[in-house]
Structure 1
């Protein structure tokens, strides 16, 4: 499917690309938010005319939450941090050696969580584009953007998008992110594809509006199981005979896993009544009737041409290959009434869900497992409301949903935040989240030919309470999160799902500050402190994670046609008993044999010529003059020093 959509994409649109965006600041008004220009762009660029009368700020990007940003072609340090195959800042994530593989989570974020349990296999979801990750567009001229980056050993990343407005009210976009990278070690090939297409339309008088997208994604990996015991010794001792990493033996010779997903999303509403606001003399909707539909399917497949009993344990048969598929489908229909008025200081939305879910297998895989139910199915009705209000410098957002009952979908979710903004000086936000939901389905039901990987559990809902504060200012940024988790579920050392009967208490404090000096130099620092005061035996994170970047920014040559960034980044996390990766579960489990933590240094040279950004990076330059202590997970070495190149282009026709 990935190859089909990739071929269709490039036959239809010969040259397309992916954008970089800059979020607009938001000022507050009674009745909601209004968009305001962010002053982080050079003052001489934000009003640059591209063609005719169009400017950069005319090329708008509308997020899932309907916040507006714009195509940004500047070169900043944040662009450098996000120049990877995920297009997100990877702070707090430790990548495996090859791009397209999974990540070890050095920190966890509980401020946003899904309402319903997912399929599981969390190691396959780091590059998964959720409904909230899909953007919609409004552009005065056809817009094309493209990113290219070299792979590891062989391969590359291409991230591309094309969007056009057929008229002011109708926009369509098509995007494809493709990755194929061989990797330095055996059995580390990664091949992924993310295809999406969007349409948004509003009638001339805004009486009816619709936005919809279709996304198909697949994530294929060869799985090595990490280095063998002998190969680990050869790597750790720095044996020069194994400088060619492909000579190191791995535990699995023919294992592969793949996650394929399909999603269709539609959100449309009809304005029932309208009135005139005497303050601004503009029509607005007093009452809208809306419908939101999400259909999502996920299939996870694990294959081996022969059984590997030494790594996964005994199987119920001794011959034959392994081809196991786990299926998940969710259909969610939501009807809502939305009321927008200055009398409630913003927007109020009442909503009701009807949700159907199915998870499991088409047949019994292990005849000796004792499992008699190979599918988990159910449906549920939920009710909830949203409120977004603002007055002066204060804003409040709240979202609540309750799904009564006792099935797999039963639970509740409450999120609230209060925000105070003092002009451009500082912003202070407090937030609270309370949730209760069933664990992901892989913890509840799983089948495999390997005897140890079969279970059917009836776990209690996981209860999560998160209290957080964010402070952003011209002096620096800081955040604090205090999280308590009841009935936490995890995989133990034997890869068995276990529910922790005691509570997990987790504190996270992050500070970020950039210091500028000597006009062209800057020192950017992000420091994260974490503490697990209760439940540290099952919930493990490093106490300290930091990223420190010293860099130079300058404009070279007469007329300043070239802008450059030159610098280095020190990454560090303290030693802790990092979770181990299990390739059959495509997830992580506890281990108590090894502590991992180390510093690494990356160097970079970035440049910008007009609307083209060029990126050179040397990963882990420290590997050339230190001992081999760097790992992404137990048995999985982190990458050696490698030089990679990439570019980002923008076209505005």
Structure 2
């Protein structure tokens, strides 16, 4: 979407919101974490102020239509989520500019997929997947504006609006836009995420439908990081280089773009009409349709042969596309004794690849397409029995080429009002991502075809969790991975890194334990999160730090006759040193390297957050310790982390 349409949308939502400001009655509450906040009651102007809509009447649902409450309180977890991704980024190491990628400090082996994912995973952190879409049901129109400053000549703004035109029909519009120039040369970021969704049901609720449209474009200028000979100038804190724009990056003429459009529609019809609410005997017909069209492109005005290697053409324009269509038709049956059982047949059509075949001088060729269509079966089950909640789902491809399956089962139990336990197992088998199987580039080193050689990646994971406000929260999982697939730094020839996809032909085991506990004394609190990780393998193919920790000491109180909630404190982020993954801008992927150990540096953030009525204000001094704890902070090899900066933002809710 062009930038002018972005401003038109924001203007429309802002004008709509101006008319939505009403007198608010507020009641002091404590959220589930025990932090002070205010949940507002909203007067319904259309009813002449005779009826009141409370915040708990504004509902949002995930893709499985599980209800998620809308929380307008000020809690420490809101501070963790107030970032570019708008989610807790514990376990992620940001790059210098907002909108760039993140280095993953932890690894999640659990996947419920039966087919490869699109490549360029480093560009997908802000790419909204199906699981990220929310549906809504609101008694009055609701608008939310989220704003945050960026790095040099830019801002981040997310404008959202939803309304129920009737009790049966809801729709929402939203657009998140970012532009940030960055502190280093040729590091501009620009992205846009447009989403429209709607939900409908008949008055008798026998027919329900929901759908959405998501259009996304994410552009990043790439510079390959600072040159190796300049690393000493950065790490020593040389005053001549404190202005980061004076660094000469590895190149200044490249950018990559990820764009995608996804259309989704799902509807169901209850074949049996419920005669008695106690019997809950229900049979439904369900149909789902999804289509996604996306591409990734790396372009460079003039090839830099001393960074990526030799070229076919001096002007680089690598472009890969994916068209992914999927539909399913199935039945869902439930009653009080059996629980809920679902079964469906699905059909998938895939078209991935390039517009030309690569032919090497030795007559070796690289094909340009992976095209397939196949049928699969899927099933779901859920049941509540004597305090236990059981759920499971699975999927199997009926294909000889795209062999894939997954099975996921969980069981949970709430022992009392405070303690909840859960456990589960996930078994997954699928092909590696498309860019491991087929890749083409004008750079000779970046051409391969492994579709016939690579085996399925097989993963088995066991997981457990304990959640308790009085005790602590604990999450543990252990995974066994066969045929682990990764990008590897194979060798360096004439200062050119040769990066290739590899498949590890031995099993590896990976475990992680995450603990979270908050201690409170009066208005003071100390929130602690720590994760321990260990990888068991004969070779260093999966590198993660042993420990990751985040500790926040903060103070919360109500001021000005309880009209404002204030929260201020300091957050420490730290992870132990390890062989941190390198970043390849041509692939937009991270690769394994065992030459450079990075990490082991603290990141201290000082914040002041406040809430006045429906507005939450965030002020943060990020990495304020950068000048006195050493300049050896990096997000990846040759990629320095950001310096000290003060940033401001707010979240503004309007209820009509």
CA distance in 1, matches of 2:326, 2:265: 11
Which one of the candidate residues 554, 560, 563 is aligned to 2:562? Answer: 560
1:3 is displaced (CA, Å) by 3.0
Aligned to 2:22: none
Deviation at residue 231 of structure 1 after TM alignment: 2.0
SS in 1 for 2:632: coil
The alpha carbon displacement at 1:402 in A equals 1.0
Matched, 1:131 2:130: yes
Give 1:627 deviation, angstroms: 1.8
| Aligned partners of 1:316 and 1:367 also within 8 Å | no
C-alpha distance in 2, partners of 1:440/1:553?
A: 46
Q: For residue 491 of structure 1, give the secondary structure of its aligned residue in structure 2.
A: strand
Unpaired runs of at least 5, structure 2: 18-29, 45-50, 490-497
Show the counterpart of 2:464.
Answer: 469
Change (3 A) 1:39 1:576: closer
Q: Which residue of 1 aligns with 2:578?
A: 576
2:443 is aligned with 1:450: yes
Q: Name the counterpart of 2:61.
A: 62
Q: Does 1:623 align with 2:617?
A: no
Residue 27 of structure 1 is matched in structure 2 by none
Q: CA deviation at 1:526?
A: 0.3
Deviations 1:508-543 (A, max 9, x none): 0010000001x1000000000000012551011000
Q: Is the 8 A contact 1:2 1:218 kept in 2?
A: no
Structure 1 match to 2:320 = 326
Match of 2:393 in 1: 399
Distance (Å, rounded) in 2 between the aligned partners of 1:245 and 1:221: 18
Partner of 1:93: 92
3-state DSSP of counterpart to 1:273:
coil
Identify if the C-alpha distance between structure 1 residues 603 and 377 changes in structure 2 by more than 3 Å, giving closer, same or farther: same
What corresponds to 1:144 in structure 2? 143
1:551 alignment partner, one of 549, 554, 559: 554
Who is 1:387 aligned against? 381
Q: Is the 8 A contact 1:227 1:635 kept in 2?
A: yes
Alpha-carbon distance in structure 1 between the residues aligned to 2:618 and 2:291: 38
**What's the CA shift for 1:165?**
0.4
Aligned position for 2:414: 421
Distance 1:7 1:367, change over 3 A: farther
Q: Which of residues 292, 309, 314 is equivalent to 1:296?
A: 292
Q: Secondary structure at the match of 1:492?
A: strand
Distance change in 2, residues 1:7/1:45 (3 Å): closer
Once the 2 structures are TM-superposed, how far is the Cα of residue 622 of structure 1 from its aligned partner? 1.3
2: CA distance between counterparts of 1:157 and 1:544?
31
Aligned to 2:25: none
Aligned match of 1:511? 515
State yes or no: 1:343 paired with 2:343: no
CA shift for structure 1 position 298: 1.2
Q: 1 CA distance for matches of 2:187 and 2:370?
A: 33
**After alignment, is 587-596 or 96-105 more displaced?**
587-596
**Helix, strand or coil for the counterpart of 2:6?**
helix
CA distance in 2, matches of 1:629, 1:69: 41
Number of the residue aligned with 2:187: 188
Per-residue deviation, 1:48: 3.2
1:316 and 1:366 in contact (8 A); partners too: no
Return the alpha-carbon distance in structure 1 between the equivalents of residues 300 and 40 of structure 2. 57
Distance 1:567 1:167 in 2: 44
5+ long unaligned stretches in structure 1: 18-36
Whether 2:353 is the aligned partner of 1:360: answer yes
> After the TM superposition, which residues 248-263 of structure 1 pair with which residues of structure 2 at under 5 Å, given as runs?
248-263=247-262
Distance between the aligned counterparts of 1:43 and 1:372, measured in 2? 60
Q: Distance in 2 between matches of 1:130 and 1:386?
A: 21
Name which of 457, 473, 478 aligns with 2:474: 478
Return the offset for 1:235. Answer: 0.7
What TM-score, normalized by structure 1, do the two folds share? 0.93
Tell me the number of residue pairs that the alignment of Structure 1 and Structure 2 aligns: 625
**Displacement after TM superposition at 1:230 (Å):** 2.4
- Could you say which residue in structure 2 is the equivalent of 1:20? none
Contact kept in structure 1, 2:147 and 2:156, CA below 8 Å: yes
Q: CA separation in 2, counterparts of 1:278 and 1:541?
A: 52
Does residue 81 (structure 1) correspond to residue 75 (structure 2)? The answer is no
- Residue 434 of structure 1 corresponds to 427
Task: Please tell me the root mean square deviation across aligned C-alpha atoms, in Å.
Answer: 1.8
Structure 1 residues 278 and 498, CA, compared in 2 at 3 Å: closer, same or farther? closer
Q: CA shift at 1:626, angstroms?
A: 2.1
Give the Cα separation in 2 of the matches to 1:58 and 1:41: 21
| Corresponding position of 2:216 | 217
> CA 1:535–1:276 in structure 2 vs 1: closer, same or farther (change >3 Å)?
farther
1:364-384 deviations in whole A, cap 9, x for unaligned? 356558334210000111112
8 Å contact kept, 2:623–2:645: yes
Is the partner of 1:614 in helix, strand or coil?
strand
Q: How far does the alpha carbon of each residue in 1:558-578 deviate from its partner, in whole angstroms, 9 at most, with x for none? A: x11111111001111001001
Matched, 1:202 2:189: no
Give how far 1:323 is off: 1.1
1:622 aligned counterpart, secondary structure: coil
CA distance in 2, matches of 1:192, 1:180: 7
Q: How many Å apart are 1:359 and its aligned residue?
A: 0.6
CA distance 1:476–1:170, change in 2 (3 Å): same
> 2:487·2:591 contact (CA, 8 Å) conserved in 1?
yes
Relative to structure 1, is the Cα distance of residues 38 and 293 closer, same or farther in structure 2, using a 3 angstrom cutoff? farther
**In structure 2, distance between residues paired with 1:49 and 1:142:** 11
SS, match of residue 161 in structure 2: strand
Q: Against the structure 1 CA distance between its residues 278 and 175, is the aligned structure 2 distance closer, same or farther, given a 3 Å change threshold?
A: closer
Could you tell me which residue of structure 1 aligns to residue 649 of structure 2?
A: 646
Which residue among 491, 504, 513 is the counterpart of 1:500?
504
CA contact (8 A) 1:365 1:449 kept: no
Q: Could you report, residue by residue, the CA deviation over 1:369-412 in whole angstroms, capped at 9, with x for unpaired residues?
A: 833421000011111210011023110010011113321x3211
- Are the equivalent residues in 2 in contact too, given 1:50–1:56 (CA < 8 A)? no
CA contact under 8 A between 1:505 and 1:535: conserved in structure 2? Answer: no
Q: Is the alpha carbon distance of 1:5 and 1:430 closer, same or farther for their aligned partners in structure 2, counting shifts above 3 Å?
A: farther
CA change 1:154–1:538 in 2 (3 A) is same
Match of 1:530 in 2: 533
CA shift for structure 1 position 285: 6.0
1:286 corresponds in structure 2 to 282
Distance in 2 of aligned mates of 1:469 and 1:357: 35
SS in 2 for 1:523: strand
Mapped to 1, the partners of 2:89 and 2:343 lie a distance apart of 36
Counterparts of 1:267 and 1:231, CA distance in 2:
54
TM-score (norm 2): 0.92
Shift of 1:110: 2.5
Provide Cα deviations, 1:282-318, integer angstroms capped at 9, x if missing partner.
xx5611111001101110011000010000001124x
Q: 48-57 or 626-635, which moves further after superposition?
A: 48-57
| Partner of residue 26, structure 1 | none
| Structure 1 ranges of 4+ moved more than 6 A | 41-44
Q: How do residues 152-191 of structure 1 correspond to structure 2 at under 5 angstroms?
A: 152-191=151-190
